[in-house]
Amino acid sequence: MKSKEEIEEEISKNEQFTLKKYKEILDSEKFEVKNLKQRIKANEKLISQYRKKLHLTEKELERVRVELTTKAILLKRSKDEGRISTEEFNREFKRIHDRLNMESRELQADISFYKRELDRAENTLRRLKEELKVKEEAQRVARDYEKKYGGKRKFTNAEFEKIYKKFKSLLPRKLKPVFENNPFRSPFLREK
C-alpha cells in the first residue's frame, strides 16, 4: 500500500502533466489564431485585388461602349453627308455592332466572374473573422481562468463531496468497503 506522501507525489505529478498538456493546447490555439490572422490578411488582399479588377473591367466595358457608339455616330454622319455609300455604311456598321457585342460579352463574363469570386472571398473572410473571434474569446476565457485559479481548479468542500459521492456510487460493491475505510481520505468526507 502506498504512503500518504507517495499518493500526494503521484497526484502532484498528474497535476503537472495535466498543466503541461493544458499549456500545449493553449500554445496550439495561439498558432491557430496566428494562422487565422494570416489567412484573413491574405483574403483581404485578394478582395482588394478582385475589387480593382472588377472596377477596371467595368471601366473598360464603358470605354468600349462609348468608343464604338461614337464610331457608329460618326459613320452615320458620314453617310448622311454623302461621304460613304449605304453599302459601305451597312458593312462598317455591322462590323462595329459585331465588335461591340463580342467585347461586351467577354467583359460581362469577366465582370460576373469577379463578382462571384468577390462574393466567395467576402463570405470566406466573414467566416474567418467569426472563427477568429471565437478562438480569441476562448483564449481570453482560458487566460482569465488561469489567472483566477493559477492553472489549478480549487474545489470547495461541497463540490468535492459531490464528486466523491458520485465516484463512490460508481465503485463496484466489493471495493466500497476498502474505499470507505481509507485512512488517507480527507476528514471532511468521513461519514457523520
161-171 pLDDT, tens digit each: 776 676 666 66
Q: How far apart are the first and last CA of the chain?
A: 26
User: Rounded to whole angstroms, how far apart are CA atoms 92 and 90?
Assistant: 6
Claim to verify: residue 11 and residue 103 sit in the same structural domain: yes
Claim to verify: residue 52 and residue 124 sit in the same structural domain: yes
Helix locations, the chain, DSSP H = 4-80, 86-149, 157-170, 176-180
Task: Output 1-6 pairs: Cβ under 8 A, ≥24 positions apart.
Answer: 4/184
Claim to verify: residue 180 and residue 149 sit in the same structural domain: no
Rg (CA), the chain: 38
Q: Taking 70 as the threshold, does the pLDDT of residue 29 lie above it? A: no
Claim to verify: residue 132 and residue 165 sit in the same structural domain: no
pLDDT in tens, 36-80: 899 999 999 999 999 999 999 999 999 999 999 999 999 999 999
The candidate with the shortest Cα–Cα distance to 143, out of 30, 2, 21, 63, is 30
What's the pLDDT at 155? 55
Claim to verify: residue 145 and residue 192 sit in the same structural domain: no
Structurally, the chain folds into a number of domains equal to 2
Cβ atoms of residues 100 and 68 within 8 Å: yes
Claim to verify: residue 69 and residue 123 sit in the same structural domain: yes
Claim to verify: residue 164 and residue 88 sit in the same structural domain: no
The candidate with the shortest Cα–Cα distance to 133, out of 41, 37, 53, is 37
Claim to verify: residue 35 and residue 81 sit in the same structural domain: yes
Write out the residue range of the structural domain in which residue 61 sits. 4-154
User: Confidence band (pLDDT; 50, 70, 90) for 160?
Assistant: low
User: Rounded to whole angstroms, how far apart are CA atoms 143 and 86?
Assistant: 83
Claim to verify: residue 117 and residue 74 sit in the same structural domain: yes
In terms of Cβ atoms closer than 10 Å to its own Cβ (0-12, 13-18, 19+), residue 117 is: middle
